[in-house]
Amino acid sequence: MKRFNAFGLIHKALRAMLFDVDLELQQADWNKPEDVRQLISKLQQVLNAFEHHAYIEDNYVLPLIAGKDRHLQQELEGEHQQDKILTEALLEHIEAIQKPGNPLEKSIHANAIQYAFHAFVAFNLDHMNKEETTFNRVLWQYYSDEEIMAVNEQISKMIEPASRENGLLWMLRGCNAAEISMLMQKLEQQLPAEAFHQFRKKAVAQVPGKFRYLLQPAEPVHALY
Ligand SMILES: [Fe+2]
pLDDT at 95 over 70: yes
What is the 163 CA–ligand 1 centroid distance (Å)? 18
pLDDT in tens, 42-69: 999 999 999 999 999 999 999 999 999 9
- pLDDT recorded at residue 31: 87
Task: Name the residue with higher pLDDT: 114 or 222.
Answer: 114
Percent of the chain surpassing pLDDT 70: 96
What is the 57 CA–ligand 1 centroid distance (Å)? 6
What is the 51 CA–ligand 1 centroid distance (Å)? 9
What is the 198 CA–ligand 1 centroid distance (Å)? 31
pLDDT at 222 over 80: no
pLDDT band with cut points at 50, 70 and 90 for residue 102: confident
- pLDDT recorded at residue 216: 81
What is the 86 CA–ligand 1 centroid distance (Å)? 14
What is the 56 CA–ligand 1 centroid distance (Å)? 9
What is the 32 CA–ligand 1 centroid distance (Å)? 35
For the segment 176-205, the average pLDDT, to the nearest whole number, is 94
Most confident of 61-65, 154-158, 202-206: 61-65
What is the 9 CA–ligand 1 centroid distance (Å)? 13
What is the 211 CA–ligand 1 centroid distance (Å)? 28
pLDDT at 11 over 80: yes
What is the 220 CA–ligand 1 centroid distance (Å)? 43
What is the 214 CA–ligand 1 centroid distance (Å)? 30
pLDDT in tens, 106-147: 899 999 999 999 999 999 999 999 999 999 999 999 999 999
Residue spans of the domains in the chain: they are: 8-159
- pLDDT recorded at residue 103: 83
pLDDT band with cut points at 50, 70 and 90 for residue 104: confident
As a three-state string, the secondary structure of the chain is: CCCCCCCHHHHHHHHHHHHHHHHHHHHCCCCCHHHHHHHHHHHHHHHHHHHHHHHHHHHHHHHHHCCCCHHHHHHHHHHHHHHHHHHHHHHHHHHHHHCCCCHHHHHHHHHHHHHHHHHHHHHHHHHHHHHHHHHHHHHHHHCCHHHHHHHHHHHHHHCCHHHHHHHHHHHHHHCCHHHHHHHHHHHHHHCCHHHHHHHHHHHHHHCCHHHHHHHCCCCCCCCCC
What is the 73 CA–ligand 1 centroid distance (Å)? 10
pLDDT band with cut points at 50, 70 and 90 for residue 12: very high
CATH number of 8-159: 1.20.120.520
Q: What is the pTM of this model?
A: 0.92
pLDDT at 224 over 60: no
What is the 161 CA–ligand 1 centroid distance (Å)? 22
Q: What's the chain's average pLDDT?
A: 93
- pLDDT recorded at residue 1: 82
For the segment 189-201, the average pLDDT, to the nearest whole number, is 93
- pLDDT recorded at residue 152: 94
